[in-house]
A and B are shown apart, each in its own frame.
Chain A
Amino acid sequence: MNIVEKILAKASGEKEVAPGQIVDAKVDAAMIHDLTGPRAIESFEEIGVEKVWDPSKIVVIFDHDVPPSTIKAAELQKRVREFVRKQGIKNFYDIGRGGVCHVVMLEKGHVRPGDLIVGADSHTVTYGALGAFATGIGATDMAAVMATGTIWLRVPEALKFEVTGRLGKFVLAKDLILHIIGMIGSDGATYKAMIFSGEAVGEIGIDGRATICNMSIEAGAKAGIVEPDEKTIQYVRERVNGDFAPLKSDPDAEFSKTFEINASELGPQVAIPHSVDNVKPVSEVGDVEIDQAFLGTCTNGRLDDLRVAAEVLRGRKVKEGVRFVIIPGSQEVYEKALKEGLIDIFVSAGAVVGVPGCGPCIGISRGVLADGEVCISAANRNFVGRMGSPKAKIYLASPATVAASAITGKITDPREVMKA
């Protein structure tokens, strides 16, 4: 069996499972946040059971509108806090303790290799970075999970991405996943799992693997998974209490299709508005002036992302007329970035550094765009209206490309800036 089949077989108590089969699986952890939590709680109360199936397996994280920007949002958060208290949920990350849910889940040890995890958020797929099967579900599905601890799932077909070679300097995990999405399209993996392996993936750290798995949903995937290795085990050991048992694909495992990619041939990539699969090498994007640059989110708000942006920004200035919004993905990332002097570099370059959370990624607050404005963003979606005005344009790129573009005021290959 491949890694997906193994995890789902374990979770459903079956010896073997095959693609297409429907299984009733036990969930190892379930995550809700401030935006999807209230509806999930409401549906949970409609089901009418008193207590959640296991409060130690539920994780609640506030990140989408933090600190709340409206009275309505403050009230919803208050309601979620009441639920947390009533249900005795210990894994609760209010502001000042957590950050973007998908960053926090990994760094606080809520994900172990081989786990089945669900989250009321589409980017739950991120946790595949540690060899877990993790998928996003809606509020009512989540209510059912909170009541029963189980979920029905169809075992997905698996696409394998074998990445050979090595990424060049300032060519990042983000460029690799953008390239893959451009190759298979925004529905190229619908109902399927994407499995990433090969020499180049082995070289990428956990932060970069999180970026890759995070964006698997942008190709429609049900899960994105990196086969666990030494790096995974080391990361998890530092964060998880107790035992875990990584699962890997058998040598004779079957995949519905295998793609081969040579990372050495890849340069920085950009997704052009308004779809994530409209991907071009940065050299073919042409002259695009920007109003705003944005670094952060569950895709690229981790320490490695901030580090590479700081490397590009050090000793340089954000171009006059450009706003550079930087939001560390979590309190932990923020703290480490402070200690390493990264925040210093950002602030003295003329960027603004915001409160850990989703920021303008979902177009609610803290950096939304006006009609006709152009933003280069390290996030995962460039849909119409995603960051505010439906008449704004969002280009997606790596943290290095975003930082380089903030310096020049137009979409720029980071290797050019570093040469100059």
Chain B
Amino acid sequence: MKIRGKALIYGDNIDTDIIIPGRYLVLQDPDELAKHAMEGIDPDFPKKAREGVILVAGKNFGCGSSREEAPVALKHANVKCVIAESFARIFYRNAINIGLPIVEAAIKGSVEEGDELMVDVVNGVIENQSKGIKLKGNPLPPLALEIINAGGLTRYIRKKLGLE
């Protein structure tokens, strides 16, 4: 799975209240949620992400709440992939379950905002095409890959239960 897009850069500890504040959770509709993605630190985010972006961040991305609306809001705001030095565990699972590609890689120092990235999610290899360098992160764990290949956890479970 290869993904291409421009980099948008954020710092450490981007928590779920930043990604989607609690008061919007009743919205449910993914496109409505997307309008408020990252509102806590960057009200212009939905505009910046519209064309499709790759989010690059530091440590502990997605810490805080278990709200699955966090990866859902990012995905529907047109985030193609999140690359972070580390992820909070519930966010990590949620992203895989709903089909938002993520890569664990410490690349913040080698990427500038707007750089063109090509991400090989399965192997965890990132090519910064603007700078002509290759960066290495962690490959996806096998089970995560199985879930993604099935098209998300819902379909993975349907297959396991023989429903499709």
Contact with B along A133-145 (1 / 0, CB 8 A): 0001111110110
Q: Does A385 contact B (CB under 8 A)?
A: yes
Residue of A at shortest CB range from B97? A140
Contact with B along A374-412 (1 / 0, CB 8 A): 000000010111101010000000000000000000000
Complexed CA–CA distance, A55 and B51 (Å)? 45
Complexed CA–CA distance, A385 and B67 (Å)? 15
Chain A contacts with B in 206-241, Cβ cutoff 8 A: 220, 222
What is the distance, in angstroms, from A360's C-beta to the closest C-beta of chain B? 10
Number of A-B contacts defined by CB within 8 Å: 133
Complexed CA–CA distance, A127 and B104 (Å)? 30
Q: Does B161 contact A (CB under 8 A)?
A: yes
CB < 8 Å neighbour of A138 from B18, B21, B86, B93: B93
Contact with B along A183-226 (1 / 0, CB 8 A): 00011001100000000000000000000000000001010000
B41–A384 contact, CB under 8 A? yes
Q: How large is the interface on B (under 10, 10 to 19, 20 to 34, 35 or more residues)?
A: 35 or more
Chain B contacts with A in 6-42, Cβ cutoff 8 A: 13, 15, 17-18, 21-23, 25-28, 39-41
Complexed CA–CA distance, A26 and B39 (Å)? 38
Complexed CA–CA distance, A129 and B50 (Å)? 45
Residue of A at shortest CB range from B20? A385
Please report the total number of A residues contacting B with Cβ < 8 Å: 49
Chain B contacts with A in 103-140, Cβ cutoff 8 A: none
Q: Does A261 contact B (CB under 8 A)?
A: no
Q: Does A102 contact B (CB under 8 A)?
A: no
B89–A191 contact, CB under 8 A? yes
B68–A72 contact, CB under 8 A? no
Q: Does A122 contact B (CB under 8 A)?
A: yes
Complexed CA–CA distance, A121 and B40 (Å)? 21
CB < 8 Å neighbour of B64 from A43, A122, A190, A191: A122
What is the distance, in angstroms, from A213's C-beta to the closest C-beta of chain B? 16
B153–A140 contact, CB under 8 A? yes
Report if A141-B93 is in contact (Cβ < 8 Å); known contacts: A186-B13, A385-B17. Answer: yes
A-to-B contact residues, CB < 8 Å: 22, 35-36, 38-39, 43, 46-49, 65, 70, 72-73, 76, 119-122, 124, 136-141, 143-144, 147-148, 152, 186-187, 190-191, 220, 222, 275, 362-364, 368, 381, 383-386, 388, 390
Give 9 CB contacts A-B under 8 Å.
A137-B66, A138-B94, A139-B94, A140-B68, A148-B157, A186-B63, A363-B23, A385-B39, A390-B41
Additional A-B contacts beyond A35-B25, A43-B154, A119-B66 (15; CB < 8 A): A47-B157, A72-B26, A120-B66, A136-B66, A143-B157, A187-B13, A187-B63, A191-B89, A220-B89, A362-B22, A383-B15, A383-B17, A386-B21, A386-B22, A390-B40
